[in-house]
Amino acid sequence: MGIFDKLFGGSSEPKEEKTLPWQVLSEVSQLDTIAEKSNSKTQLIFKHSTRCGISSMVMKQFVSAYDLETNADLYYLDLLNYRDVSSEVGYKFQVMHQSPQLLVIKNGVVVAHASHGAVNDVDLGQFV
């Protein structure tokens, strides 16, 4: 390992990326299913803007910190490609749109939500 690698953290070995059990949220009809499933299991919706640097940074931090043992269903919403779904999330769950945004849904209602950097401050353990 060269001096620059030591200083800047470079490595010749590929870095394995963590993969979360995302379910793509792409249809408005899925929101009723999410609300229904939330009666027996916590549901999480991560709203992400693929064109926003802050959203990308928050998502990377979220993925890195997410505990794969979390007993919740995790949905990914690309709000640029599914604007109608994003709008309906706000209406159905009574949460003003932000990006990035995390919604925690239990018993058909949002019990916690956060946006921007605060997404990574949500203690998911208290909701599952």
* Concatenated DSSP letters of 55-67: HHHHHHHHHHH--
> For position 88, what pLDDT does the model report?
94
Q: Region 18-29: what's the mean pLDDT?
A: 93
- At 100, is the pLDDT very low, low, confident or very high (cuts 50, 70, 90)? very high
109-123 pLDDT, tens digit per residue, is 999 999 898 888 898
Element at 74 (helix H, strand E): strand 72-78
Q: Which CATH class is domain 18-126?
A: alpha beta
Phi, psi of 96, deg, nearest 5: -65, 140
66-99 pLDDT, tens digit per residue, is 998 899 999 999 989 999 999 999 999 999 888 8
Distance CA 79, CA 17 (A): 23
Domain layout of the chain by residue ranges: 18-126
CB 84 within 8 A of CB 42: no
Quick one: how many helices (H) and strands (E) in the chain? 4, 5
Distance CA 2, CA 48 (A): 38
42-71 pLDDT, tens digit per residue, is 999 999 998 998 899 999 998 999 998 899
